[in-house]
A and B are shown apart, each in its own frame.
Chain A
């Protein structure tokens, strides 16, 4: 799916700070960060709609989202913990009013040493 691009695809960290980036070319208003740990389903972290943060699940404060414009989403990570090792997916949808399809990127795999 080249319509949602994520970078970097792979990330290996000690206790450093890093940012994940996502850009969607679908013209969608809503953008999501999901975390998927090994052998688990994706779990919502954050949801933005029209650049406003409208859902913030229980996420450690070392994860800080940013939505600089409606097509871009960032996830800043500081002082990572081994439990943060997972694949982080960006997703988008037309909006949040009606239940509809989510389009996922290919993910950024974070490995914490």
Chain B
């Protein structure tokens, strides 16, 4: 596996709280993508971050990428119940735009 975590992680928080999810990867990469998958749906991209960016924001989302520690994080501020989903980090080590997904974090935001 490309990723450090082997099993789906689970987090449960209250609406309005902030949350940070982490991924660590084994093979060097310069691009990490974060996807969200709601129940019964396909994954949808949230953020793509490159190594020269270190940090990228999109609305309430903030992603970081640290190539020295081979890790990436996704933070959500002011969570909403609609943020309930599984969040995956993903990267391409194939040079064919093939995404390999981490094991994911199942986030439940209670209203």
Contact = CB atoms under 8 A, between A and B. Distances in A.
Given A41-B103, A99-B31, A105 B42 contact: yes
Contact of A30 (B41, B43, B44, B97): B97
Given A96-B97, A99-B33, 9 more contacts: A30-B97, A40-B103, A54-B96, A96-B98, A97-B97, A99-B92, A104-B42, A104-B44, A107-B41
Interface of B: 8, 31, 33, 40-45, 48, 88, 92, 94, 96-104
A66 interface: no
Contacts of B101: 41-43
A105 B43 CA distance: 8
B101 to A, nearest CB: 4
Nearest to A94: B97
A100 B41 contact: no
Given A41-B101, A47-B96, A101-B33, A1 B8 contact: no
A55 B95 CA distance: 11
A contact residues, range = 20 to 34
Contacts of B97: 30, 93, 95-100, 102
A9 B42 CA distance: 12
Contact of B48 (A42, A47, A96, A101): A101
A55 B98 contact: yes
Contacts of A43: 101
A102 B34 CA distance: 11
Contact of B42 (A44, A49, A96, A106): A106
Contacts of B31: 99
Contacts of A49: 96
Contacts of A4: 42
A91 interface: yes
Nearest to B31: A99
A106 B41 contact: yes
Nearest to B103: A41
A1 B36 CA distance: 14
